[in-house]
A and B are shown apart, each in its own frame.
Chain A
Amino acid sequence: MTQSSNRKHASGESPAWAQEMTQILDAYKLAGGDPEALQLPKVATLVINTNHILAVHEIPGVVIHAEPLENGVRADITVEPNTKVEQPIHLCFGVVPADGVQDIIANYEIGENATAQFLAHCSFPNAVHVKHNMKAHIHVSKNASLTYTEEHFHGENGGVEVYPFSEVMVDEGGQFFSTFALTRGRIGLLSIDYQVYAAANAVVKMTTKAYGFADDKVKVNEVVHLDGEKARGLTLSRVAVREHAVSQIFTTMEGNAAGARGHMDCTEIVRGQAVAHNTPLVVVRNDQAQVTHEAAIGSVNQKELEALMAKGLDEDEAVDLIIRGMIR
């Protein structure tokens, strides 16, 4: 275990390091991150460019172990039991060059009764041919709470392929709240695959937001297994596609135990030649479980549109405002 409050740099503070750090922080900013937060002593951080670990900063109760792989980094992040992490733990994963492959293998262990927030930014600002694979294993222990927010920026070329895969185990009474947002710049190809297992009294809420255009492709596959009694699950999908973009949202909610309650809610706004798909799948294996879903796919809601136009906005301004609000 590393010492607490120890700011470590894998390659020291050489000029090369400083240059790379500046580049990744610029990229980080483009993805919506706040570089200043990375400098605060109370904020745990991990900064990675391709397979270079540029900064690791631990705080009491938060242990970060990172090691380079051939094409990326393996990171183990542990929040010790009973720790209440006050400031979000900041993660920055990026590929600054135009080409590259990045594999991130991440294990998150949230100890019993611990509470933590993660703020992850993934940025590929110059990407022409970049492939980012993320394999995450997340364990939220009994009565622990994890809020995980991930924002992406894929640049303006559309040359990024991103494959986030997560397996999440939420133990009894645990909470897992996640938000994945890709709403600035191009998407390229995004293929999300989340498998979540919720034990008794666990709460799961997953939000996905994306705005695709040109020939962007968004594919989301989220499966929530409500395995424990009174487990609760909610998936919110908010996607807008325009021009020739395509979105495919598959969500599955399984009610496998008494008192389990699940809901899937999908809104996709389609403009121009874009195509949106939504397939909610409901599986119920217990006669005291209940799963519901709702979806609205297509144009923006007429009533919302008219309410904004009655304030003097023209139709395009109104649609844009509705989309921006939805994916905010």
Chain B
Amino acid sequence: MERILRIQNLSLTREGRKILENVNLVLNSGQVHALLGINGSGKSSLAYSIMGCEGYSPDSGKIIYDGQELNKLSITERARLGITLAWQEPARFEGIPVGKYVGLGLKKPDRQKVINALKAVALPAKVYGYRSADKTLSGGERKRVELAAVYAMRPRLAILDEPDSGVDIISLDDISRLIRNLAEEGAAVLLITHRKDFVDTADVASLMCAGTVIFTGDPHETRLFFEKRCIPHVEALGTQPWNESLPEVQAAFASNGELRSSNK
């Protein structure tokens, strides 16, 4: 099991607001690592920081991938090192056929790989291959196309931002299998999800709260903790415990005997 990504004390401010604070996280090749957290806890922001999206370069901290620091690299350079991201709400493209889009990350054009990737998300190439990846695709179809594009690339690190949301129940099994295949073929998968079954079948899970990773451990345990403690806590506060109350929240977690510390 190879440690492919190490995030150290990563902090990010956007428009004067702290979005990520001292995030520490390690991802291993061949593992599905689930990332949980309530809406607005910073999961997508962390994904964009790893990918190198505009406006998400950290104020401090390091992202080390395969021994190399990523902070100065462009999205393209990161992608060429094997990192890719399936967006929570993927962009729409006028005039770019689904088949072409799915094949973009391939080193050389390969029709069969595109067909197989579409099949992996239960989209028949015959029906979808020549359609545009534009507004006419439904939300769920577009998400599956995005996953197929990631899958076709065979990345070494796949960040999947809620690949399950908006996808019908019948196709969820295919997606779950695709995620497992990615890991079995050696990729590290960072899986952002709100689905119980997706968390429980992961190899490891981390919990984000108020812009930081507060816990990493057994997926089932992490999920139970999230459900029992995190959500009621937010309900009690009426809002997310942002910056000022963060130490207090962390202290509350730390005082819980069952908890393990996050993987610094």
| Contact residues in A for B105 (Cβ distance below 8 Å) | 311-312
Asked if B91 is at the interface (CB within 8 A of a chain A CB), the reply is yes
Chain B residue with the shortest CB-CB distance to A318: B76
Q: Which residues of chain A from 216 to 275 have any CB-CB distance to chain B below 8 Å in the complex?
A: 238, 267
| Contact residues in B for A315 (Cβ distance below 8 Å) | 74, 76
- In the bound complex, how far is the Cα of B90 from the Cα of A310, in angstroms? 12
Interface contact B75-A309, CB-CB below 8 Å:
yes
Interface contact B79-A325, CB-CB below 8 Å:
no
Interface contact B94-A310, CB-CB below 8 Å:
no
Asked if A306 is at the interface (CB within 8 A of a chain B CB), the reply is yes
Interface contact B96-A325, CB-CB below 8 Å:
yes
Asked if A326 is at the interface (CB within 8 A of a chain B CB), the reply is yes
| Contact residues in A for B79 (Cβ distance below 8 Å) | 309-312
Q: Which residues of chain A from 166 to 200 have any CB-CB distance to chain B below 8 Å in the complex?
A: none
| Contact residues in A for B75 (Cβ distance below 8 Å) | 306, 309-310
Q: A306-B53, A306-B75 in contact; A312/B95 too (CB < 8 A)?
A: no
Asked if A327 is at the interface (CB within 8 A of a chain B CB), the reply is yes
Interface segment, one of B80-88, B117-125, B236-244:
B80-88
Which of B51, B74, B91, B105 is most buried by chain A, counting CB atoms within 10 A of its CB? B91
Q: Is the contact region of chain A dominated by helix, strand, or loop, or is it mixed?
A: helix
Asked if B168 is at the interface (CB within 8 A of a chain A CB), the reply is no
| Contact residues in B for A310 (Cβ distance below 8 Å) | 51, 75, 78-79, 83-85
- How many chain A residues touch B (Cβ–Cβ < 8 Å)? 23
- In the bound complex, how far is the Cα of B88 from the Cα of A303, in angstroms? 12
| Contact residues in B for A321 (Cβ distance below 8 Å) | 96
- In the bound complex, how far is the Cα of B132 from the Cα of A196, in angstroms? 29
Chain A residue with the shortest CB-CB distance to B133: A325
- In the bound complex, how far is the Cα of B93 from the Cα of A238, in angstroms? 13
| Contact residues in B for A309 (Cβ distance below 8 Å) | 74-76, 79
| Contact residues in A for B80 (Cβ distance below 8 Å) | 312
| Contact residues in A for B90 (Cβ distance below 8 Å) | 307
- Give the distance to chain B from A300, nearest Cβ to Cβ, in Å: 10
Q: Which residues of chain A from 4 to 59 have any CB-CB distance to chain B below 8 Å in the complex?
A: none
Q: Which residues of chain A from 292 to 315 have any CB-CB distance to chain B below 8 Å in the complex?
A: 301-304, 306-315
- Give the distance to chain B from A260, nearest Cβ to Cβ, in Å: 23
Interface contact A302-B54, CB-CB below 8 Å:
yes
- In the bound complex, how far is the Cα of B95 from the Cα of A238, in angstroms? 11
Interface contact B91-A304, CB-CB below 8 Å:
yes
Asked if B27 is at the interface (CB within 8 A of a chain A CB), the reply is no
- In the bound complex, how far is the Cα of B96 from the Cα of A302, in angstroms? 16
Contacting residue for A313 out of B78, B91, B104, CB 8 A: B104
- Give the distance to chain B from A84, nearest Cβ to Cβ, in Å: 25
Q: Which residues of chain B from 63 to 84 have any CB-CB distance to chain A below 8 Å in the complex?
A: 74-76, 78-80, 83-84
Interface contact A303-B91, CB-CB below 8 Å:
yes
Which of A306, A313, A321 is most buried by chain B, counting CB atoms within 10 A of its CB? A306
Q: A310-B51, A313-B104 in contact; A328/B95 too (CB < 8 A)?
A: yes
Interface contact B94-A312, CB-CB below 8 Å:
no
Asked if A98 is at the interface (CB within 8 A of a chain B CB), the reply is no
- In the bound complex, how far is the Cα of B74 from the Cα of A302, in angstroms? 14
Interface contact A304-B84, CB-CB below 8 Å:
no
Chain B residue with the shortest CB-CB distance to A323: B95
- In the bound complex, how far is the Cα of B83 from the Cα of A312, in angstroms? 9
| Contact residues in B for A303 (Cβ distance below 8 Å) | 87, 91
Asked if A285 is at the interface (CB within 8 A of a chain B CB), the reply is no
Asked if A324 is at the interface (CB within 8 A of a chain B CB), the reply is yes
Contacting residue for B76 out of A302, A314, A324, A325, CB 8 A: A314
- In the bound complex, how far is the Cα of B105 from the Cα of A312, in angstroms? 6
Interface contact B91-A238, CB-CB below 8 Å:
no
Contacting residue for A326 out of B76, B78, B94, B149, CB 8 A: B94
Asked if B32 is at the interface (CB within 8 A of a chain A CB), the reply is no
User: Can you identify 5 A-B contacts, CB atoms within 8 angstroms?
Assistant: A238-B94, A304-B93, A312-B153, A313-B76, A326-B95
Closest 4 CB pairs between A and B?
Answer: A325-B95, A328-B95, A309-B75, A311-B105
Which residues of B does A touch, CB under 8 Å?
51, 53-54, 74-76, 78-80, 83-85, 87, 90-96, 104-105, 132, 149, 153
